[in-house]
Amino acid sequence: MQSSPSAPRRERASSALFFRLAWRNLWRNRKRTLIACASIFFAVFLSAVVSSTQSGQNEYLINTTVGFSTGFIQIHGRNFWEKRSLDQAMEMDSALAKKARTIDHVTQVVPRFETISLIAHGTVTKVSPVIGIDPVSENAMTGLGKRVVRGTPLAQWHHGAILAAGLAHMLGADVGDSVIIYGQGYQGVTAAGVIPVAAIVHFPIPDADNAMLYLPLGEAQDLYAAPSRVTALAIMLDSEDAMDDVARQLRGFAGQGLEIMTWREMMPELVQAIIANNGGTVIMLLILYVVIGFGIFGTVMMMTMERRREFGISIALGMKRWRLMYITVLEALMVSMLGALSGIAASIPLIVYFYEYPITLGGDYGKAMLAYGMEPIIPFSIAPTVFTVQGLIVFGLGIVSALYPVLIIRNLVPVQAMRG
């Protein structure tokens, strides 16, 4: 009974001894250890960079679309999304908007009044989206204020139109000029007005820069004979993971004449584009992992063959095979951890830098991206999973490669090993 308390202490001392032996073994041959660490370091570094670009592309696609137009979730009149008619515009329900703001993860509830009209200045006429907005909430959603290049700042804007720079150039209009808006209002009423240009905004994507006109929400409602009506309430969230739960709660208290749709339901083509992008990246990462796996295994195999004589002598001197296996696995764990952590540490500053300053593409490829309505940049992501998942996968490859020396030790014949 008196010896039982000392047993756990002996086990802890034995484990600590094994860890010290494994650590010392690593640095008995620094070159060999550094080669093994370097193979894992570059594996984690490369896979983290590739994964960051893939995640960054998806985030860019989502944020560009969600943050610019639809929101993560949209409340609108039933059938509005299919017909896009002002006749499906809904009454602006302040109580509904206030209740939506109380839901966890909801950051903004943005009223929008969207339609299409003819915009004319001088002898030039263009068809353009016309969007009635609340300046404060719109700026929080889309960052419109930072895109004003001349004219009235968004925070001081209460009257007049804001034109996208490309549309203003095509119309030959500038701040201080007036444009004519002509279209169809609520329930077939003719909407026509002469609106002064208050400001010019610039968008990096040509499709948006060539076709956007903003009006204050109240002015748009008056122009289109739809007082107190909006076409949608755009809901912004602090996390996309909460989108389905928030949509479920909104459906619980929204009226019968309203429809709640997530961006995935509104834009299935974007979902398909993300799936296709993910599929290509997965294939590329699998190829990278295969190359990485063989590289790590080759390094481990070389290290094992160099140590066959050492293993044989240790077993001949009476060391238990399981203890030698245990120490060898600890060495593999330490090498894998050192390589994985150093790879993550080295990739973080690079990825953060390119997250803040994305790579800009020029030439034909940049023009092709602009033609598809995308900003010609390579966006990066700094999501924690970019680093942790890649580090764990490569760390796992290192551990699997450690099975090779374990099998060698298990089947090792000491006499043959020492002769070799």
Q: What is the pLDDT of residues 177-220, one digit of tens each?
A: 999 999 999 988 999 999 999 999 998 777 788 888 999 999 99
The more confident residue out of 303 and 116 is 116
> What is the end-to-end Cα distance of the chain in Å, rounded?
49
Q: Is 289 exposed, middle or buried (0-12, 13-18, 19+ CB in 10 A)?
A: middle
pLDDT value at position 229? 92
Question: What pLDDT, on a 0 to 100 scale, did the predictor assign at position 320?
Answer: 80
Contact status, residue 262 vs residue 246, Cβ threshold 8 Å: no
Q: Measuring CA to CA, which residue among 220, 119, 127 is closest to residue 177? A: 119
> Is 347 in a helix, a strand, or coil?
helix
For residue 204, what are its two tokens?
């990096």
Give the pLDDT mean for 264-287.
81
CA distance 95 to 11: 66
Q: What is the pLDDT of residue 20?
A: 81
Give per-residue pLDDT as tens, 220-254: 999 999 998 999 999 999 888 889 999 999 988 88
Q: Which of 132, 122, 131 is nearest to 211 (CA)?
A: 131
Alpha helices (runs of H) in 254-362, residue ranges in sequence order:
263-266, 268-306, 308-316, 321-356
Query: Residue 338 is which amino acid?
Result: L
Q: State how far the Cα of 62 lies from the Cα of 282, in Å rounded to an integer.
A: 19
The predicted pLDDT at position 1 comes to 43
CA distance 130 to 87: 16
The answer to whether the CB of 265 falls within 8 A of the CB of 46 is: no
- Whose tokens are 């089947």? That residue is 411
- Condensed to tens digits (0 to 9), the pLDDT of residues 125-180 reads 999 999 999 999 889 888 889 999 999 999 899 999 999 999 999 999 999 999 99
Which of the four pLDDT bands, split at 50, 70 and 90, describes residue 368?
A: low
Please give the pLDDT value at position 4.
Answer: 52
Which residues on neighbouring strands pair with residue 200, listed in sequence order? Answer: 150, 163
Stated as kind and residue range, the H or E segment containing 245 is helix 243-253
Mean predicted confidence (pLDDT) in 68-92: 87
Element (H, E) at 74: strand 73-77
For β-strands 190-201 and 148-151, DSSP reports them as: antiparallel
For 182, phi then psi, to 5°, come to -135, 125
Q: In the predicted model, is pLDDT for residue 370 greater than 70? A: no
The DSSP bridge partners found for residue 236 are: 108
- Residue 360 Cα distances to 59, 210, 350, angstroms: 17, 21, 16
Please tell me the distance from the alpha carbon of residue 21 to that of residue 33, in angstroms, as a whole number: 14
| 195 Cβ contact list (under 8 Å, min separation 6) | 160, 161, 178, 179, 180, 181, 215, 219, 223
Q: Which residue, chain included where needed, has tokens 């999973």? A: 385
Name the 3-class secondary structure at 73.
strand
With residue 103 as reference, give the H or E element that holds it.
none
Query: pLDDT above 90 covers what percent of the chain?
Result: 31
**Cα-Cα-Cα-Cα dihedral sign, residues 160, 77, 95, 229:** positive
**Mean pLDDT computed over 312-326:** 80
User: Which string of DSSP letters, residue by residue, matches 358-376?
Assistant: PEEP-HHHHHHHHHTT--S
Average pLDDT estimate for 76-92 = 88
Report the C-alpha gap between 416 and 420 in whole angstroms.
6
Which of the two residues, 287 and 296, has the higher pLDDT score?
A: 287
Task: Report how far residue 319's alpha carbon sits from residue 418's, in angstroms, rounded to the nearest whole number.
Answer: 15
Instruction: Quote the mean pLDDT of the chain.
Output: 84
